[in-house]
């Protein structure tokens, strides 16, 4: 599939989300951060808002669910029109069943790991997943500093994907910018979430293209 850039709207203007998404036509996906004030200490929006956003853009939505009990709620986001739905393994009771339910609801199934969660226990799940998200900050807020300590895990995850011969995409999220994206691409990531780097730029769409060029040069 190659390099993909998925800007996060977490740091966009929530009062004008449709217009904010229209500022990034070069994006491959729009990353929507769903937070419930339980799994993370922050609150954003739920399926009704996501469904409205899906109707407002031709870009596919990449939902990142930072919520408790994703087993109950995640398929709703596939039904709301998201092309990809990511749940956190730390919150999931039955990740294999959940990934299958997301796929059955018509979305790509993706699983996220917090920075301190190891990837090795989940290597046998890779064929069940369309994407693995490795968080490069503790989830909850935009604008945090990139955690270099996750880079070795990105390398190990890429090696496990090669070992299993799977097509699973490898996404990184948190602190990704022109300063850090090359390190992620070199380590083996191919899908890049960038929130504040895109929405604090004077020209967000030009930043999407700059991030893509930097990752392609390094990957």
Question: Binding partner of residue 117 among Zn ion, ligand DX5, none, CB under 5 to 8 Å per kind?
Answer: none
- Give the interface segment with Zn ion, choosing from 12-20, 166-174, 179-187, 211-219 (CB under 5 A): 166-174
| 200, two tokens | 């604090």
Question: Would you put residue 152 in left (φ > 0), alpha (ψ -120 to 50) or beta?
Answer: alpha
Using CB under 6 A, pick the residue from 5, 21, 31, 88 that binds ligand DX5. 31
Residue 4 vs 11, nearer CB to ligand DX5: 11
Using CB under 6 A, pick the residue from 140, 178, 182, 186 that binds ligand DX5. 140
Residue 32 · residue 61 · CB < 8 Å:
yes
Q: Which of 39, 93, 54 is nearest to 71 (CA)?
A: 93
The count of residues in the chain is: 219
Q: Is 173 in the site for Zn ion (CB under 5 A)?
A: yes
| 143, two tokens | 């604008």
- Residue 43 gets which letter from DSSP? B
- Give the residue nearest to Zn ion (CB): 64
Cα separation, 18 vs 9, whole angstroms: 10
What is the footprint of ligand DX5 within residues 35-94 (CB under 6 A)?
A: 64
- Give the interface segment with ligand DX5, choosing from 74-82, 123-131, 139-147, 184-192 (CB under 6 A): 139-147
User: Shortest distance, CB of residue 44 to ligand DX5, whole angstroms?
Assistant: 9
Q: Is 62 in the site for Zn ion (CB under 5 A)?
A: no
Strand partners, 6: 193
Residue 147 vs 166, nearer CB to ligand DX5: 147
Pairing of strands 61-66, 30-35: parallel
Binding site members: 8, 31, 33, 64, 140-143, 173-175, 195-196
List residues with catalytic annotation: 33, 173
């Amino acid at each position: 599939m190659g390099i993909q850039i998925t800007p996060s709207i977490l740091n966009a203007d929530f009062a004008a989300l449709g217009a904010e998404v229209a500022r990034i036509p070069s994006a491959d996906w729009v990353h929507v951060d769903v937070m419930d004030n339980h799994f993370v200490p922050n609150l954003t929006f739920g399926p009704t808002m996501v469904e409205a956003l899906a109707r407002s853009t031709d870009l596919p939505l990449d939902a990142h669910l930072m919520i408790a009990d994703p087993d109950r709620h995640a398929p709703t986001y596939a039904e709301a029109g998201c092309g990809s739905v990511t749940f956190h393994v730390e919150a999931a009771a039955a990740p294999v069943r959940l990934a299958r339910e997301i796929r059955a609801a018509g979305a790509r199934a993706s699983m996220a790991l917090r920075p301190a969660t190891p990837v090795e226990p989940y290597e046998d799940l890779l064929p069940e997943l369309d994407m693995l998200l490795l968080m490069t900050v503790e989830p909850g807020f935009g604008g945090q500093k990139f955690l270099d300590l996750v880079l070795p895990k990105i390398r190990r995850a890429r090696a496990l994907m090669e070992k299993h011969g799977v097509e699973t995409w490898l996404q990184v999220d948190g602190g990704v910018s022109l300063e850090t994206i090359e390190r992620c691409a070199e380590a083996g990531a191919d899908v890049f979430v960038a929130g504040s780097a895109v929405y604090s730029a004077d020209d967000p769409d030009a930043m999407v293209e700059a991030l893509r060029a930097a990752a392609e040069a390094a990957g």
